[in-house]
Amino acid sequence: MIPADEKLLGERKSWLESLGDERRLAGNTLEAYERDTRQFLQFLSGHVGGSVALSDIQALRPADLRGFLAHRRKDGAGARTLGRHLAGLRSFLRYLERKGLVNAAGASAIRSPKQPKSLPKPLSGSQAVTVVDRATQMNEEPWIAARDAAVLTLLYGCGLRISEALGLPPEAFQEKTTSLRVTGKGGKMRIVPLLPVVGEAVAVYRKLCPYHLEAGKPLFRGARGGPLQPAIIQREMQRLRSALGLPDSATPHALRHSFATHLLGSGGDLRTIQELLGHASLSTTQIYTGVDSARLLDIYDRAHPRAR
C-alpha cells in the first residue's frame, strides 16, 4: 500500500503509462521507476506524518530529495542506483510540472551522485593470444582470416584503437620496420613499437590480399575491396566470443585494455603506457591501476624499504 492520496497516485499511474506508451522505455526501467517513486512516497510520508498529497510534492525542497538519497544510501544503494532514483523522480516531477501541478525546480538543483569509473575487463594472456591467432579466425576465406588476425593483433600487440588500426596505410609497414607512427584522437601523432609477431601477421595478410594496396589508402580492405569498416571486425569478434566461450566484455576494444593491463602486470610504468595508448592525461591511464592491484602490491612489498 502506497501512503499517498488517490489524486497523486492517479497522476503517478498516468506518468508511468506515458513512459511506456509514448517514450517506449524498457520494461526494466519502468519497473525501476515504479519502485523508486514508491520508495520515495513511503519515505516522504514519514516526514509529513501521513498520506502524501500533491500539495506535499509542491512543497518539496532540495533538502527533502537529498534526505531521501541519504536514506537510500544508508540502506546500501550505490551511486548508480541513487542516480537512477534521482532520474526517475525528476521525470515524475517534470511530468507534474507540465500539467501545472508542481514546480520541479528543486529536483533540477540537485547534482546526480558521482558515478564510479568503470574498470576495463581485459582478456587473460592466453585468451588474447588465442583470439588474435590466424588459425582461430572464423572466416573460411584465407585472406580475410589473415586480415582479421592482423587487425586484432595490432589491437593487442600495439594497443591501438580500432579506428587507428584501420586507418594505417601500407607504407606504415616498411621492411625491417620496428615502430609505427599512429595518428590518434585529435590528430595527435605517437610512436609505438612494432613487435615482430605483429609485423608477421600484417605481412601474411598483405601477401594473401587480392587487391592492390595503394599508398596513402587504408591498408585493410573489405571483401569487395573498399576500406574495412569497424563493424566488420566487431562482428567477427562477436563470432569468436561465441565460438571460444568468452564473455560479452571480450570486444575489440578489450584487446587494447588487455595490452595495457598485461604491460602493467609485467612491471611497465604508467607514464610509458600512457604514451603508448595515446592518452592525453595520465588520469585516463590510471584506470588500469585498479585492474591488477595484486601485482602492484607485490611490487610494493618487494621494493619499498618500509614494506618489511
Cell 544510501 belongs to which residue? 73
Cell 520494461 belongs to which residue? 27
Q: What separation in angstroms does the CA of 19 have from each of 2, 40, 41?
A: 20, 18, 19
CA–CA separation, 277 and 259 (whole Å): 9
State the SS3 of 206-269.
HHHCCCCCCCCCCCCECCCCCECCHHHHHHHHHHHHHHHCCCCCCCHHHHHHHHHHHHHHCCCC
Cell of 216: 596513402
DSSP assignment letter at 291: T
Across 89-119, b (16+ Cβ under 10 Å) vs e yields: bbbbbebbeeeebbebebbeeeeebeeeeee
CA–CA separation, 207 and 147 (whole Å): 10
Question: Could you tell me whether strands 189-193 and 179-183 are parallel, antiparallel, or unpaired per DSSP bridges?
Answer: antiparallel
Q: Answer for the pair 19, 25: CB distance below 8 angstroms, yes or no.
A: yes
Q: Answer for the pair 89, 65: CB distance below 8 angstroms, yes or no.
A: yes
Q: Answer for the pair 145, 134: CB distance below 8 angstroms, yes or no.
A: yes
Q: Which residues are catalytic?
A: 161, 185, 253, 256, 279, 288
CB atoms under 10 Å from CB of 274, counted, come to: 19
CA–CA separation, 168 and 164 (whole Å): 7
Query: Crossing angle of helices 79-98/6-21, nearest 10°?
Result: 100
